Chains A and B, each alone.
Chain A
Amino acid sequence: MGDVRSVSRAVRLLLWGILLRVASGTRADDLDFNGTIISLDAEGRTFEALGGCDGRIVAGGTKAAVAEKLRPGFAAVDLRGRTVLPGFYAAHDPFPDSGLNELSKVELNGPPIGAIRTMDELIAALKRKAEAIPAGGWVVSWGYDDTLLAEGRHPTRADLDRVSTRHPVWIVHISGHLGVANSRA
């Protein structure tokens, strides 16, 4: 009978522990081992094991050394020789838009990225594109910068009507938040 009570108490404590852990938002520690962990830190260190606690890396080194720094009950993951690198974070890179821009749109950036310095140069660049495609085809551009144009202003619909009246023209500012269209568009 005493054994049954002890087990019952242990189960209750375990459930309370799980409940408290879930409620506090903490996660089990984890130990990744048997890998090649390239830290890319200032010293260029490479580790065989990595320790995590509450979603953060807390230790790198040998398996034994990392294990000492984790709370009991950590989850162990055998990397089986795999390589681990720091996360690559690129939340705002408009991939593959950069490729689409280069392949299909007219380059209107000013120096040092591009070569457009005046409104006439901007119009000429667009005109070259319009002359290369059939009437009705869209002339699209990205990257003009009013602050780098000698005129110090945005192009207008009238400016873009000088490019073509037979092609719709749409150019987007370097910021991506403003665009200008010609009358045909």
Chain B
Amino acid sequence: MTKATEPPRGGRIRLDPQTGEPKGAFEEAGALVGIHIPGYAAEQRQAAIRKG
């Protein structure tokens, strides 16, 4: 994620006003990070369903 990263439509990547680099906050743009997080195994999903 760099200052050149484009946010999704309707989303916003908060940038440091001095450096222009991302400050770490993503508004309506969590998918930019979420796609890098490993998915859940079937067993984990089943456990989650049982947990509710």
Q: Does A180 contact B (CB under 8 A)?
A: yes
Q: Does A23 contact B (CB under 8 A)?
A: no
Given A96-B49, A98-B52, are A103 and B24 also a contact pair (CB < 8 Å)? no
B residues with CB within 8 A of A? 1, 22-28, 30, 33-34, 36-38, 40, 44-45, 47-52
Contact A99 B50 (CB under 8 A): yes
Given A104-B44, A138-B37, A181-B33, are A99 and B52 also a contact pair (CB < 8 Å)? yes
Report the separation of the CA atoms of residues A157 and B40 in the bound assembly, to the nearest whole angstrom.
25
Report the separation of the CA atoms of residues A177 and B33 in the bound assembly, to the nearest whole angstrom.
13
A residues with CB within 8 A of B? 95-100, 102-104, 138, 140, 154, 156-158, 160, 168, 170, 172, 177-183, 185
Contact A179 B44 (CB under 8 A): no
From B22, B25, B26, B44, contact of A100 by CB (8 A)? B44
Contact A181 B52 (CB under 8 A): no
Contact B25 A179 (CB under 8 A): yes
